[in-house]
Chains A and B, each alone.
Chain A
Amino acid sequence: MTHNGISRYSMEIATALLTGGIGVAICYGAWQVGTGWTPSGPDSGYFPFWIGVLVVAGSLINLLRTIIGHRHKDEVFLDAARLRSLARFTLPIIGFAVISLLLGLYVGTTLYVFFAMRLQGHYAWWKSLASGIAISVCFYLLFELVFQVPLLKGPLEHALGIY
């Protein structure tokens, strides 16, 4: 952390560690199923294992380039104001995913649009609610009736007898 936000330097390092971690996981997963040679050719872990090695190698280069070269030391990745608007946008999305899992996509969409409009645009509650419901209804008409692809439904739809 620098005095006015998260520095790009620390985010470069964090991202290199993240990709490197994924690379290690790939290698481990590939090693579990076997990375050698079988009578029918390379084992199923052979190809992913070497891909994982390349991911780790690339991440390591990125990490070292950042640290040794002191790259992006003075650049700001996110300042407090941007972090706030980012959080206002991202947190409702995570809530959307959780609610959709529990209550289905229609209820999820309605609530999400409602909260997002309240939070990001400071719209009146009735405008936000009306938009949320309108969009859900549009989705229902478009997907279930026009394209005939069912979306995820929850207890509310079951109670109302909509399948």
Chain B
Amino acid sequence: MNNLSLLMDGFATILTWNHLMIMVIGVMLGMLVGVLPGLGAPNGVSLLLPLTFTMDPVSAIILLSCMYWGALFGGSTTSILFNIPGEPSSVATTFDGYPMARNGEATRALTLAFMSAGLGALAGVVMITLLANWVAQFGLKFSSPEYFAVYFLAFCSFIGMSSSAPSKTLVSMMLGLAFATVGMDSVSGGLRLTFGIPDLVKGISFLVAVMGLFGIAELMVTTEEGLSFNGIKSRIRIMDILRTVAELPRYWVSLVRSILIGIWMGITPAGPTAASFMSHGIAKRFSKHPERFGKGEPNGIVSPEAADHSAGTSALLPMLALGVPGSATAAVMMGGLMIWGLTPGPMLFITRPDFVWGLIASMYLGNVVAVILVLATVPLYASILRVPFAIIGPVIVAVIFTGVYQVANSTFDFWLLLFFALLGYLFKKLDYPVAPLVLTMVLGHRAEEAFRQSMVMSDGSLTIFWSNSLVTTIMGLGALMLVWPLISKVTGLRGWRQRLHRQKPENHKSSTPDSRA
């Protein structure tokens, strides 16, 4: 099999001590940002990105992707031990993870979470291994109109799939596109939307936006809630781990279902957060004992974790093969690829197979490394959260400021950071989705270029987006996504989904009066 030999080449690329060390560092740093409140995977990857500008792309992507896996695991750790989701995508893990840990089974809860997360991630990588070449082959048929149609579909899926109001998703997304156009116009070379401010000529970096929207804004919400950590002491015993691993096959139905949900939500840009919520909700709905959920039901840990991680990994398939990232973190990584001088998309499979397959191979190895490391170091990371927030918070802010300065050595970016922090704070508190803004900021240039090239091809006629069966199908799917909120309202599906979403956070709050004081 062709893919298999390519994968072996990939393993040959990455199996060096140097790369293994990068993997370990990436996972450890990722767990750190995953554990710390206010620093999530998108933020951590953004902070690290400026430091990779001089690295070779294969090492750099291994570092960043391993950081992503580490962050996903770190987020689950705090969910279970502290009832504080370190990542938005691990909120659903708190529903059953924290109750189980509180019942004195912290090791069991952590092992269940990490093992099912690891299995979910592996399933996602297997899917990528099998489909990557095929999707890339398919992508080679694309020209500008098809590309624009794919971006259109991605944007529309956000509106259709988001649990926020469609008009709020629209505003968030379009703001991202608009911020991406500020500065030099790559086609004509002229300046636009700079309003006479010389510092805007270089444009607005998506990295600054991520650090404001996800970093400072998250911390603002956290301080406002007066976060106090009521952690559960965790002693990890090998026997408990082994016993839990042995009981894992019992939950195979949940595992398979969650992995499928995760893969689907990861490829379509719904992302890991939606996947984990949905998976937990469905597990409860189809369970014979729905009343056990929220009290430490194992299926309630396995489902969101497996879905979260399979979605997180699967999100890299559309990023690599088509240049459309499936999650905010994948978007930041894709921005990194472009900074390193690589063009994400089908041509990457032809021009840099070593990079593509090195990354895929590193995903297998990285996740195994991550599961082992995370089990070994949980007590260490848990102790970090016992440091009071009045110390951790300012340190995180200082790290973010140094990170912002490193993006372009510009002090103007400090003000942009504060602007994005304000925007992110308002958006979070008023239920505007933030991830679409980051995604469109990264994709903006490419989407606009595809649009303008299509317009040149058709001499200004929009009919080019309906000119052949391929582009018509993609545009049609996009349009369907756009009206999906209406359709599901009529058919009653939306009500069900909203109930699912609404019921979760309430559960979450009521089970933790102590941590929300």
> Complex: how many Å from CA A77 to CA B220?
14
Q: Could you mark each residue 62-92 of chain A with 1 if its beta carbon is under 8 Å from any beta carbon of chain B, else 0?
A: 1001000000000001100010011011101
Q: How many A-B residue pairs have CB under 8 A?
A: 173
CB–CB B395/A113 < 8 A = yes
Q: Is B426 an interface residue (CB 8 A)?
A: yes
Contact for B388 among A42, A62, A121, CB less than 8 A: A121
Shortest beta-carbon distance from A11 to chain B in Å: 6
Q: Is B51 an interface residue (CB 8 A)?
A: yes
Q: Which of B190, B192, B220, B397 contacts A48 (CB 8 A)?
A: B192
Known contacts A19-B171, A55-B174, A61-B167; A121 and B391 CB within 8 A of each other = yes
With contacts A58-B167, A97-B414 taken as known, whether A51 is within 8 angstroms of B178 at the C-beta atoms is yes
Tell me, yes or no, whether B288 is within 8 Å of chain A by CB. no
Which of A23, A47, A112 gathers the greatest number of chain B CB atoms within 10 Å?
A: A47
Report the nearest B residue to A64, measured CB to CB: B167
Q: What string of 1s and 0s marks CB contacts (under 8 Å) between A113-129 and chain B? A: 10011001111000000
- Please determine whether A59 and B171 come into contact, CB atoms closer than 8 angstroms: yes
A137 in contact (CB, < 8 A)? no
Contact B393 A116 (CB under 8 A): yes
Partner of B181, one of A42, A48, A61, A143: A48
Cross-chain contact of B452 among A47, A59, A61, A147 (Cβ < 8 A): A47
A33 to chain B, nearest CB (A): 5
Task: For the complex, count residues of B whose C-beta is within 8 A of A.
Answer: 60
Q: Which of B324-332, B361-369, B400-408 contacts A (4 or more CB under 8 A)?
A: B400-408
What's the least CB distance linking B74 to chain A, in Å?
20
Given contacts A40-B188, A51-B178, A131-B391, A58 and B170 within 8 Å (CB-CB): yes
- Total number of A residues with any Cβ neighbor in B under 8 Å: 68
Show 19 residue pairs from A and B whose CB-CB distance is below 8 angstroms, ordered by the A residue: A12-B430, A18-B426, A22-B178, A46-B452, A54-B170, A62-B171, A86-B223, A86-B224, A89-B219, A92-B394, A97-B417, A97-B418, A105-B401, A112-B398, A113-B395, A117-B391, A123-B390, A147-B51, A152-B405
Binding site for A on B (CB under 8 A): 50-51, 165, 167-168, 170-171, 174-175, 177-178, 181, 185, 187-188, 190-195, 216, 219-220, 223-226, 388-391, 393-395, 397-398, 401-402, 405-406, 409, 411, 414-415, 417-418, 421, 426-427, 429-430, 432, 448, 451-453, 455-456, 460
Cβ-closest 10 pairs across A and B: A121-B390, A116-B394, A58-B171, A61-B167, A44-B185, A29-B193, A58-B170, A41-B456, A120-B390, A89-B223
- Apart from A48-B178, A55-B174, A100-B411: 18 A-B pairs, beta carbons within 8 A: A8-B430, A11-B426, A11-B429, A23-B178, A29-B194, A32-B192, A37-B460, A40-B187, A41-B453, A41-B455, A44-B185, A44-B190, A46-B452, A97-B401, A100-B401, A120-B394, A147-B51, A152-B405
